[in-house]
Amino acid sequence: MPLIAPSILAADFANLQRDVEMINHSAAEYIHVDVMDGRFVPNISFGMPVCAAVKRHAQKPLDVHLMIVEPERYLEDFRKAGADIITVHIEACPNLHRTLQHIKELGAQASVAINPHTPVASLSEILGEVSQVLIMSVNPGFGGQSFIENTYRKVRELVELRADAGVNFDIEVDGGVNLDNAPLLVDAGVDVLVAGSFVFKSNDPVATIQALKGVETD
Ligand SMILES: O=C(CO)[C@@H](O)[C@H](O)COP(=O)(O)O
Ligand SMILES: [Co+2]
């Protein structure tokens, strides 16, 4: 069964406490927090104060996805704001190994993300340093985009690379996840499904989370 991480980017920001409590009462494992700076990605979402506000009501770990340039400048701040898992983009980190060490020194779980154009092989030297790899299945910056189909192949490649390296980490997929692609993703080897619009735009978000959790594979 996959772990489910609803993205609060698609929540009602004027009712954030209500939506965080919905996640608390659901079958989800994490709360996915999308931080965008208008530079690494075209869009701006929110920063540390919102992350800290979510943390005050959260009963599940915060999976914080930093879509920002120079993320190393803000690791301590996001850790203080309650981040349990911190994801940085390989495309934003010239000293990725150092950045991942820093995340771990702060007591958080280190995670690295790759954009749709970035090959899985670019991760080969740091796979032993992370507890999670996030494969973007849309171009980062916005919720509600369509899932990119080459994600299945990238997941399979990463499963193979992980086995060859003899290390362990979760594989997370983020962007356009729904009940059509979730079974195929889990079948390919995905451990964590992030879902924003599909959860929050549904009539019954708790039931939608439950449905994602229970996806059948072949
Ligand atoms: O990181 C991102 C987008 O950049 C995601 O976490 C989105 O928030 C997912 O939203 P949906 O594609 O599921 O609507
Ligand atoms: Co995200």
168-211 pLDDT, tens per residue?
A: 999 999 999 999 999 999 999 999 999 999 999 999 999 999 99
Tens digit of each residue's pLDDT (9 = 90 or more) over 82-115:
999 999 999 999 999 999 999 999 999 999 999 9
Q: What is the C-alpha to C-alpha distance for residues 146 and 28, in angstroms, rounded to an integer? A: 22
175: annotated binding-site residue? yes
pTM: 0.98
Q: Which protein residues touch ligand 1 with a CB less than 6 Å away?
A: 7, 9-10, 32, 34, 65, 67, 138, 140-141, 143-145, 174-177, 194-198
174: annotated binding-site residue? yes
Tens digit of each residue's pLDDT (9 = 90 or more) over 35-87:
999 999 999 999 999 999 999 999 999 999 999 999 999 999 999 999 999 99
Tell me the CATH number for domain 3-213.
3.20.20.70
Tens digit of each residue's pLDDT (9 = 90 or more) over 119-128:
999 999 999 9
Over range 18-25, report the average pLDDT: 98
Please determine, for residue 218, whether its predicted confidence score (pLDDT) is greater than 90: no
Choose among 35, 99, 100, 107: nearest CA to 72.
99
In the reported structure, the alpha carbon of residue 29 is separated from the centroid of ligand 1 by a whole-number distance in angstroms of 17
Over range 15-31, report the average pLDDT: 98
Residues within 5 Å of ion ligand 2, judged at the Cβ atom: 34, 65, 174
Q: What distances in angstroms separate CA 188 from CA 17, 65, 73, 104, 151, one per listed residue?
A: 34, 23, 35, 28, 10
63: annotated binding-site residue? no
Domain positions in the chain = 3-213
* Residue 134 token pair: 């996030």
In the reported structure, the alpha carbon of residue 7 is separated from the centroid of ligand 2 by a whole-number distance in angstroms of 7
In the reported structure, the alpha carbon of residue 175 is separated from the centroid of ligand 1 by a whole-number distance in angstroms of 5
Catalytic residues: 34, 174
Please determine, for residue 17, whether its predicted confidence score (pLDDT) is greater than 90: yes
Binning pLDDT at 50, 70 and 90, where does residue 216 land?
Answer: confident
Atom of ligand 1 nearest to the CA of 141: 4
From the CA of 181, which ligand is nearest? 1
Over range 139-163, report the average pLDDT: 98
Query: In what side-by-side order are the strands of the sheet with 83-89?
Result: 3-6, 192-195, 170-174, 132-136, 109-114, 83-89, 62-67, 31-36
Residue 109 amino acid letter: Q
Q: What is the C-alpha to C-alpha distance for residues 52 and 12, in angstroms, rounded to an integer? A: 17
196: annotated binding-site residue? yes
In the reported structure, the alpha carbon of residue 165 is separated from the centroid of ligand 2 by a whole-number distance in angstroms of 26
Please determine, for residue 25, whether its predicted confidence score (pLDDT) is greater than 80: yes
